[in-house]
Amino acid sequence: MFSFVAEVSMTQPASPSSDDSTLVRIRGLTTVLNGKTIFDALDLDIPRGKVTAIMGPSGTGKTTLLKHITGQMRADAGEIRVNGENVAGMSREQLYKMREGVGYLFQNSALLTDFDVFENVAFPLRQHTQLPEVLIRNLVLLKLQAVGLRGAARLMPNELSGGMARRVALARAIVFDPMLILYDEPFVGLDPVALNQVLKLIRTLNQTLGITSVLVAHELEAVKQVADHVFLIANGKVVAQGDPKTIANDGSPWTRQFFGGEADGPVPFQYPAGDLAQALGLTGAAK
Ligand SMILES: Nc1ncnc2c1ncn2[C@@H]1O[C@H](COP(=O)(O)OP(=O)(O)OP(=O)(O)O)[C@@H](O)[C@H]1O
């Protein structure tokens, strides 16, 4: 389970190999799941203090990549450095501390249904600190103010719209001022107004709190508005990258298929499978 808290751990000195402009450095990442190669010597740098979008066809490994970054899933080979520290080389305690510096926003918001908005945001503070009640109250109200929902503090999750729920989850994810926020499909199911509010919020938080943001998303128009840089991943590698406003027009078969929504192209429609006739027991049978 990811921690929502973030504190001092990410401020530890980075190793000499870390580059100040890169918060997450991925080299030669190789992952094979159930015999399928998900990442094939993937190299990728996530710039510090920017909004980076990870895009790619369904099943290409975007969520898996987020799990590798937090050490929730181990790769078969390669290296991931977060703030200069090698994730694979971390002890359980170091990993736990590193995760404390990461806010994670799930697609479904994952609010605790029996707690009101205030208590949802207060939850990580109560779980991980011994702060006095007055300080908890002030921290929670400030985070709710940041997402525009201080007035909704006493509402229950079932009284919130989808967009509001996502903003509450965001307030909770930033309650300890993380250095890195990972958003897994933050735009799914939002109406245009809520979508614009969430986009504005991601941008504002990124700028005002100096957070590094990584988002996995399929919506190119939304990504164009919020991201500084896009990585398009397919077949286990980065197949295109760049400024979101220009990447869609680079003319490569990958971007044409992915951003143009073409059914046919480098991404096969069929998940890899054996011979159909054999699977149906028809091999050798008369036609
Ligand atoms: N724990 C696991 N064990 C085995 N296979 C897994 C595991 N997690 C994911 N996979 C497989 O890895 C591949 C990548 O999954 P992942 O969820 O990372 O893709 P994604 O790009 O996020 O997809 P989507 O856009 O549809 O959400 C899929 O083929 C999936 O079936």
Angle (CA) 230 234 240, round 5°: 40
pLDDT of residue 287: 44
| CA 60 to ligand 1 center in whole angstroms | 7
Q: Render pLDDT for 9-45 as a digit per residue (tens, 0 to 9).
A: 333 334 434 568 999 999 999 999 999 999 999 999 9
Any idea which fold 48-63+98-263 has?
Answer: Rossmann fold (3.40.50)
Give the number of C-alpha atoms closer than 13 A to the C-alpha of residue 259, restricted to the C-beta side. Answer: 26
Report the share of the chain in percent with pLDDT over 90: 51
Sheet hosting strand 102-105, strand order edge to edge: 102-105, 180-184, 212-216, 51-55, 229-234, 237-242
Rounded Cα distance between 229 and 212, Å, is: 12
Cβ(62) to ligand 1 under 6 A? yes
Please check the confidence at residue 249 and state whether its pLDDT lies above 90. no
- Ligand 1 pocket mutation pick from 32, 38, 258 by most atoms within 8 angstroms of CB: 38
pLDDT of residue 133: 94
What atom of ligand 1 comes closest to residue 271's alpha carbon?
A: 29
**What are the domain boundaries of the chain?**
48-63+98-263
State pLDDT tens for residues 205-240: 888 888 999 999 988 889 999 999 999 999 999 999
Distance 64 CA to ligand 1 centre (A): 6
pLDDT value at residue 268: 62
> Which residue has 């990504």 as its token pair?
223
Find tokens 């918001």 and name the residue: 109
Half-sphere exposure of 253 (CA within 13 A, CB side): 7
Distances in whole angstroms, Cα of residue 203 to Cα of each of 57, 75, 83, 100, 213: 25, 31, 21, 22, 9
pLDDT in tens, 144-179: 998 889 999 999 999 998 889 989 999 999 998 899
